[in-house]
Amino acid sequence: MKDFINKLYRNHSLIYKCLLFITTTFLIVYFFPKSGKFKYDFEKGKPWQSEDLQAPFDFAIKKTDEEVAKERKKVEENAILYFDRDISVESKITANYNQEFNKTFNDTLNRGKRRALKVTGEAILKELYAFGILNENYGFDNKRGVAILEDRTKKQDAFFSNLVRQNEVSSIIEKALEKSNLSEYKPHFTSLFFDLVKPNLVFNKSFTEKATTEELEAISLTRGSVVKGTLIISKGEVVEGDKFQKLKSLQSEYESQVWNESNYNWVLFAYALLVALVMLMLLLFLRKYRIEVYENNTKVTFIFFNVLLLIFITTLVVNYNSKYIYVVPICVLPLVLKAFFDARLGLFTHVLTVLLLGFIVPNSYEYMFLQIITGIVTILTVSELYKRANLFISVGQITLIYIIAYFAFFVIHEGSVETIKWETFIWFILCGLATLFVQPLIYAYEKLFGLVSDVSLLELSDTNSKLLKEMSNKAPGTFHHSLNVANLAEASANEIGANAMLVRVGALYHDIGKMKNPTFFTENQSTGINPHNELSAKESAKIIVNHVIDGIEIARKNKLPDRVIDFIRTHHGTSVVYYFYMKEKQEFEEVDKKDFCYPGPKPFSKETAILMMCDSVEAASKSLKEPTSTKIDKFVENIISKQVEEGQFLNANITFKEIQAIKKVLKHKLANIYHLRIEYPE
């Protein structure tokens, strides 16, 4: 059991990467839309690019959204209105009519006239309650159909115009009296019916809405069908009208058939395989070409997190509305990775991410082409991200590339610019503006993942910072030496294409450990008193060597990034404190060389190797007496050649050609420092 636990511990880094790989793959597949992928890409109004397409199976032709909306509107406008009729009202009024009639018309009228008036009144009541009287004036169209309910049972069909509104009672009475030549009795009848007539119809809103809903649900979403083997569209035909609707119907049917319950697990498995392949390629790239990144689990997590984040955001946008797909600032990914790592890793990760996004976006070929091209432009144009002007210029170039590429695609598909969608250009501009968010994003990532970008390096290079101010006060000679080394290292890094900003910052802080015992280092001895005279060679060597350990402690206390601390650890490699080693050998026959060696490690990057060379050359140059160009050339060659012979650069990815270029820069810079000129005759 103990051996098993030890084995797990030894392989904990690999186990973590495996878990990260599986988790990322699972989450990406989880974010993907849960539908099958139709194997043809097409757009309305554009030519069909594939071969002649025949129906692979029978399927129904779906109606367009406009057609369905039109039918729904028609149903809503013509839906039957339901009214409840109170049957007790009419019977009560009919029963009260005789009594009220006798009160209104006295017995002085002759019998014939009285009978005619009574019959006319009965006719008016019959007309008023033929369908019923509304309790209020509803604003429905007169042509709307109406169903009259009695005890929730349908009794009568009519139109809304057949129903009597309360303000129409007077006009109905007047027309009936005119027809019977009894117009002079209008005041009497108006008085009679004012108290007698009551509304008996009430609009049943809930019943009407329920019936309307049932009618809406009964609307068919299809019109006609396509039989298996029928030609749907030929190559080169424009996708429009009925052909477009047939293709959309086939796509919908295909995706619903592929992504059904029986095939669900298989499709998920296939997606997982493809995603896993892409993520595996990323891991293999890191392992082969960026081993220092691969071995750092925090950096691997950071890269995977950014890929996952972009896929998540893009999926949200696609699910909301795919027309906003180009607003997502995909170019943030290569920008961020270039800021923290390098251009090659940024571009490779960007391309793999775009390939994954091709599964979920419409018009995947066009999308991937645009994003890969703009990713390349991002990598090529963005340099020195800490300079704000550079970022704005690069974002402008990225936006321009988007617009040019989209315009070219549109003209290829349409053959003209008359129907171009100018609003798409607005999405590209918004995408460019969103890309500017990379600056605060980089700052957030630095705090979350403990990474260092050029922006932070620029802040650290400020000589007015607290730590460098302290060094200039406590160890002024060391501070001056660090400035000289920084200038030499920066020029050397620019010559071979290394990270000049990083090596400059490393040079400024590489000797901060000397602040603990500044007078034990010759550059800080201004009084002429050398404290080493009172110490043994071994004790002196220990103090000199310990400035590396002290520097690491001070750096960690002041929260300097690990990338900067690497320069403190490696700037002497495993070299020997030669002066005190030789002094000890003069006194003793047997000397342990390890007591006079720096703990290391050796430089493991171009930048740390550059610092080691520049530090040694600058420090030793102080011992040159009457320097000439010949002396300087020989001096530089001797120091760096000795470091090469000792194998100090074996772990650094620096070539002999680059070392020669650095020598050339150092010779030139030292010649300028010592103001060497030709001697003029007197």
Q: Which tokens belong to 3?
A: 């051996």
Q: Which tokens belong to 164?
A: 């009597």
| Paired residues of 202 in beta bridges | 84
Three-class secondary structure of residue 475 per DSSP = coil
Q: Which tokens belong to 141?
A: 């169209």
- Which are the contacts of 312, defined by CB distance < 8 A and separation ≥ 6? 27, 31
| Paired residues of 238 in beta bridges | 47
Q: Which tokens belong to 513?
A: 């450990």
What is the per-residue pLDDT across 226-247, written as a single tens digit (0 to 9) for each?
878 788 777 777 777 777 777 7
CA atoms of 505 and 499, how far apart (whole Å):
10
**pLDDT tier for residue 405 given thresholds of 50, 70 and 90:** confident
**pLDDT tier for residue 140 given thresholds of 50, 70 and 90:** confident
Q: How many CB atoms lie within 10 A of CB 220?
A: 10
Predicted confidence at residue 680, as pLDDT, reads 46
Q: Which tokens belong to 640?
A: 């760096």
The residue-averaged pLDDT of 167-186 equals 80
- The DSSP string of 625-655 is SS--HHHHHHHHHHHHHHHHHTTTTTTS---
Q: Which tokens belong to 424?
A: 């798409």
What is the per-residue pLDDT across 588-606, written as a single tens digit (0 to 9) for each?
777 777 888 888 799 989 9
Q: Is the pLDDT of residue 676 over 60?
A: no
Q: Is the pLDDT of residue 185 over 80?
A: no
Q: Which tokens belong to 231?
A: 């030609």
Three-class secondary structure of residue 157 per DSSP = strand
Q: How much of the chain, in percent, has pLDDT values that exceed 70?
A: 91
The residue-averaged pLDDT of 553-564 equals 90
Residue range(s) occupied by CATH 1.10.3210 in the chain: 454-673
Q: Is the pLDDT of residue 259 over 60?
A: no
Between 455 and 271, the higher pLDDT residue? 271
Distances 183 to 164, 168, 196, 239 between C-alpha atoms, Å: 21, 17, 20, 71
Mutual orientation of helices 562-570 and 537-557 as an angle, nearest 10°?
170
CA atoms of 397 and 302, how far apart (whole Å):
27
Q: What is the mean pLDDT of the chain?
A: 83
CA atoms of 490 and 468, how far apart (whole Å):
18
The residue-averaged pLDDT of 152-161 equals 85
Three-class secondary structure of residue 597 per DSSP = strand
Mean pLDDT comparison of 9-18, 48-57, 126-135, 471-480, highest-scoring range: 471-480
- Whether 255 and 35 have beta carbons less than 8 Å apart is answered as yes
Q: Which tokens belong to 368?
A: 């991937």
Contacts 24+ apart (CB under 8 A), 447-453: 449/298, 449/299, 449/301, 449/302, 450/298, 450/561, 450/562, 451/298, 451/299, 451/302, 451/340, 451/561, 452/340, 452/561, 452/562, 452/563, 452/564, 453/339, 453/340, 453/385, 453/386
Cis peptide leading into residue 601 (ω within 30°): yes
Give just the sign of the alpha carbon dihedral 649, 652, 655, 658: negative
Predicted confidence at residue 415, as pLDDT, reads 66
Predicted confidence at residue 553, as pLDDT, reads 94
Architecture of the CATH domain 454-673:
Orthogonal Bundle (1.10)
**pLDDT tier for residue 489 given thresholds of 50, 70 and 90:** very high
Distances 129 to 83, 164, 190, 524 between C-alpha atoms, Å: 14, 8, 16, 117
The residue-averaged pLDDT of 344-368 equals 88
pTM listed for this prediction: 0.62
Amino acid at 171: S
CA atoms of 272 and 515, how far apart (whole Å):
56
Predicted confidence at residue 258, as pLDDT, reads 56
